[in-house]
Structure 1
Amino acid sequence: MAKEFQVTYDCADPGALAGFWAEALGYEFDAPPPGFDTWDAALDAWGVPADQRNGASAIHDPEGTMPRLYFQRVPEGKTIKNRVHLDVRTAPGLEGEERMAALGAESERLQALGARQLKRNDPEPPMSQGFIIMADPEGNEFCLD
């Protein structure tokens, strides 16, 4: 039986990075715990100081089919290339110029949200249909595929 999983990001600003990925993927922020109208109300009740309230954030697929993403603050910055990364399936089934145009449009949308385009890899059939390598606002690589 398959196991449910989440993808966890170590980062400097969990709230901001969760916001970027929520916009990028069409995800939503996790709701506050039962009995609280907001996360601030829950954190107040638990006595969490204001300077510690951005220690973690989580977002989920509103349809419940894709993995949850969890963001946790760590003291060190990113220093090397990711060993694991997300491929954001932007143009499945598209080929050639139509595919690269769709990837380019998504790259521009994400750049407006704070991402950077690192490299465009044009199609090289039969091994590659083309993709774009991006970095999120904290430098974590991902691909538009």
Structure 2
Amino acid sequence: MARDVQFTIDCADPAKLAAFWAEALGYRVQGPPPGFDSWEQALTAMGVPPERHNDASAVVDPDGAGPRVFFQRVPEPKRVKNRVHLDVRAAPGLAEEARMTALEAAADRLVSHGATRLERHEPAPPLDAGHIVMADPEGNEFCLD
């Protein structure tokens, strides 16, 4: 039986990271519950104090096909390399130089949104088509592949 999956990312600034990942994945920041025009309005109505309004955020696939990504504020900073990371498929169907050119364009776009480029891995056939290792604005590693 298939399961519904959500990825959860611990972070310092859920709203900022949600905005970044919405851009990276082609997702959208999840809107407020029905009857509210904004999360601020909904959280205030729920009695959440203003200093806790950025405790969580989420992004969702606008087509409803991909998993939800949830961001929760935690007090401790990131300390070590991620044991699990996301691969962002930024060059589907492309090979060789066309693939790496598309990955470079995606890397440049995400750097302009706060990502950091970490390293480029050249294609090494037959199994590795090449990829670029990146970090989101809080240092969480991910790959453009």
Report the TM-score when normalising by structure 1: 0.97
Distance 1:127 1:44 in 2: 52
Q: Deviations over 1:71-107 (max 9, x none)?
A: 0000000001101100000112211111100000000
Q: Which residue of 1 aligns with 2:59?
A: 59
Q: Which residue of 2 aligns with 1:98?
A: 98
Q: Which residue of 2 aligns with 1:41?
A: 41
Q: Deviations over 1:34-92 (max 9, x none)?
A: 22222111111112111111000011000000000000000000001101100000112
Q: Deviations over 1:86-135 (max 9, x none)?
A: 00001122111111000000000000000011000000101200000000
Aligned AA for 2:20?
A: F
Q: Which residue of 1 aligns with 2:133?
A: 133
Secondary structure at 1:81 match in 2: coil
Range moving further from structure 2, 4-13 or 32-41: 32-41
Across the aligned residues of Structure 1 and Structure 2, the Cα RMSD in angstroms comes to: 0.8
Aligned AA for 1:118?
A: L
Kindly tell me the number of residue pairs found equivalent between the two proteins. 145
Secondary structure at 2:132 match in 1: strand
Aligned AA for 2:110?
A: L
Structure 1 segment 1-145 matched on structure 2, within 5 A: 1-145=1-145
Aligned AA for 1:56?
A: A
Provide structure 2 residue ranges, at least 5 long, that are not aligned to the other structure: none
Secondary structure at 1:142 match in 2: strand
Distance 1:105 1:37 in 2: 35
Shift of residue 27, structure 1, vs aligned partner: 0.8
Q: Deviations over 1:4-51 (max 9, x none)?
A: 111000000000000000111111111211222221111111121111
